[in-house]
Structure 1
Amino acid sequence: MRWLPILRIRMLKWHTDPLAALISLQVLQDALRSWGYLAVMVFIMIESAGIPFPGETMLLLASFSAATIVPQLHIGLIIAFAALGAIIGDNIGYYIGRTGGRALVERYGRYVFLKPQHLRRAEQFFEKHGNKTVFFGRFIAVLRTWAAFLAGVNNMRWLTFLFYNAAGGILWATIFGTLGFLAGRVFHDNFAQVEQIARNISWISAAVIVAVVAGAYLLIRFRRARGSDAASSSENGKV
């Protein structure tokens, strides 16, 4: 798709992983100009497979472009290819984690800032909140890269993983694709502002998820404590 012009936009700081910051916005523009929808799918697929990569930024850039100077890009197709890339990439990450994830982390994890102790802590969390991690992890930058891999490491049932993965991927692509498109109508050539909004959404999503998990944990502890007190009172009454 040679018709896509170079966008005149401010450079920005990537909010995902350190390695993604090494990829300039110009590279994303060139890839989108040359490959169109396929670039959206491939960038997201690479990120979802477990490699720090600006997949979400590519989705925002493509949807932003569709709303501004490139009407030939259809937002519906952008969302569809983004969701497909997320699902395929996550399944690649799941397969890698399932077949040799722990050995891979121990040998090469330091190159992508993932240490064995990080994996152990993540596994403990994943055992209790695996389904929610796969679904909501799509909306959090770092977790988006590693959720599928951890699902494989923890031997999560594939059909269960696929259900939550597909649901999260489709919803994520729809929300962020629509966000980029609508923001393009408002901010026009200021893509940096759009990226800032997406960054805020990621942080808010992380905060909400942590709050929900903490609240659920405290509620369960409270109910168990009340149950124990009620049982003790009942036994004392019988005596």
Structure 2
Amino acid sequence: MHVQEWLETVPPLAIYLLVGLVIGLESLGIPLPGEIILVSSALLASQHGEIDPFVLGACASAGAIIGDSIGYAIGRKGGRPLLAWLGSKFPRHFSEAHVATAERSFQKWGMWAVFFGRFVALLRIFAGPLAGVLRMPYWKFLTANVLGGIVWAGGTTAVIYYVGVVAESWLKRFSWLGLVAAVLVGLTSMLIIKRRASKVQAAHQEPEPVGAGE
């Protein structure tokens, strides 16, 4: 069953709690599809009036901020042995290469890595624990965490909600022609984003052999 189809069977209060919990656990450092749940819920809110987008965005923001804060505390206490343990449990997400990439981002951008990391799947999982492991000053982490959580969660909810409202009205007006056009635009956008992401990933992977030898 598709995520959105399943969410349609869940009461609004449960959806608010589910979104906050999943995003919180993902921010804490557990690999979960927080962004997929948030996007699906925001799209559902645009189609069903029972779900309040403001409450949804607030719950998502709270989950992001609280989860990241707990992850920071765990990372600060566990240190690098924690990253090694996570690597053994979740090798796909916490491999040495991924940890090295995230650590370089933190060393280069500092607290901005926490803020912008909220918009990147890999750093969204790493941000809290890694900031604690690297002992980033808590006031810097908290500032970036709160701003990043609100902008990412609130912004994603607002954009998806209003796009859903407009798309639903547009599709009703143009029927299958609108659907075909929407699919073509979506596929084109996906290919462009995928191409750019591949270039960025290739650029990040180039210096890795030097780091591995240190």
Using structure 2 for the length normalisation, give the TM-score.
0.72
CA gap of 1:29–1:102, structure 2 versus 1, over 3 A, is farther
Q: Secondary structure at 1:53's aligned position in 2?
A: coil
Report if aligned partners of 1:48, 1:145 keep a CA contact under 8 Å in 2. Answer: yes
Of 35, 52, 58, the match for 1:56: 35
C-alpha distance after superposition, 1:175-201 (max 9, x if no partner): 1001221122133499x97xx69x96x
Q: Which residue of 2 aligns with 1:123?
A: 103
Q: Which residue of 1 aligns with 2:152?
A: 172
User: Structure 1 stretch 121-130 or stretch 75-84: which is displaced more?
Assistant: 121-130
Higher Cα radius of gyration: 1
* Distance of 1:31 and 1:111 partners within structure 2: 31
Provide the aligned C-alpha RMSD in A: 3.1
Matching of residue 145 in structure 1 with residue 133 in structure 2: no
Measure how far apart 1:28 and its partner are. Answer: 5.2
Residue ranges of structure 1 left out of the alignment (5+ in a row): 1-9, 12-23, 215-239
One-letter code of the match for 1:38?
Answer: L
* Distance of 1:134 and 1:161 partners within structure 2: 7
* Distance of 2:95 and 2:119 partners within structure 1: 23
Q: Which residue of 2 aligns with 1:105?
A: 83
One-letter code of the match for 1:154?
Answer: L
* Distance of 1:111 and 1:126 partners within structure 2: 23
Query: Map of 1:147-162 to 2, 5 A cutoff?
Result: 147-162=127-142
CA gap of 1:174–1:34, structure 2 versus 1, over 3 A, is closer
C-alpha distance after superposition, 1:28-49 (max 9, x if no partner): 5556667121111101101111
Matching of residue 136 in structure 1 with residue 116 in structure 2: yes
C-alpha distance after superposition, 1:48-79 (max 9, x if no partner): 111111111111122111110x2011111111
Residue ranges of structure 2 left out of the alignment (5+ in a row): 172-178, 205-214
Q: Which residue of 2 aligns with 1:43?
A: 22
Measure how far apart 1:26 and its partner are. Answer: 5.8
Measure how far apart 1:108 and its partner are. Answer: 3.4
Report if aligned partners of 2:4, 2:40 keep a CA contact under 8 Å in 1. Answer: no
Report if aligned partners of 1:47, 1:53 keep a CA contact under 8 Å in 2. Answer: yes
CA gap of 1:120–1:184, structure 2 versus 1, over 3 A, is closer
The 4+ residue runs of structure 1 with deviation greater than 2 A are: 24-34, 115-125, 186-190
Q: Secondary structure at 1:147's aligned position in 2?
A: helix
CA gap of 1:31–1:92, structure 2 versus 1, over 3 A, is farther
Q: Secondary structure at 1:36's aligned position in 2?
A: helix
Q: Secondary structure at 1:110's aligned position in 2?
A: helix
Using structure 1 for the length normalisation, give the TM-score.
0.65
* Distance of 2:5 and 2:87 partners within structure 1: 28
Q: Percent identity?
A: 38
Report if aligned partners of 1:31, 1:39 keep a CA contact under 8 Å in 2. Answer: no
Query: Map of 1:1-239 to 2, 5 A cutoff?
Result: 11=2, 35-68=14-47, 70-112=48-90, 113=92, 114-188=94-168
Matched residue count: 180
